[in-house]
Amino acid sequence: MYENEIEKLVIQNYQNDEKTMILLFAQWCINHDLNPVTLYSQAYPGQGKNDALSEAIEQTVEKIEADPIPDQLLLDVLQLFGNDDLAFVITEAIAAYEQQQR
């Protein structure tokens, strides 16, 4: 394989993984009765509309059809992709949910 082809493959794999991360985030939000756009906007207020998030939301399933997504898994994946601000907002949402359960 030529170096240019390998570079393109690495970029494509990263983009596919990033789409999976966004879908995981969107589905986690749906599973917790949270609006993914609202949480994303809290983390990144100046960014505006995110087309990748919109596409991911279209791919989510209803809460009753979805498999559970562990909170820590989502946080780990977000941090792996450098979405620390979003991970922080998710951590706050988890804390608020746990507070309500008490």
Choice between 33 and 48, residue whose per-residue pLDDT is larger: 33
- Residue 34 Ramachandran class (φ > 0 left, ψ -120 to 50 alpha, else beta): beta
Choice between 89 and 4, residue whose per-residue pLDDT is larger: 89
pLDDT tens track for 50-93: 999 999 999 999 999 999 999 999 999 999 999 999 999 999 99
The model's pTM: 0.89
Give the pair of three-digit tokens for residue 10.
Answer: 């690495």
pLDDT of residue 1 exceeding 70: no
pLDDT of residue 43 exceeding 90: yes
Task: Report the alpha-carbon distance of residue 47 to residue 41 in Å, rounded.
Answer: 8
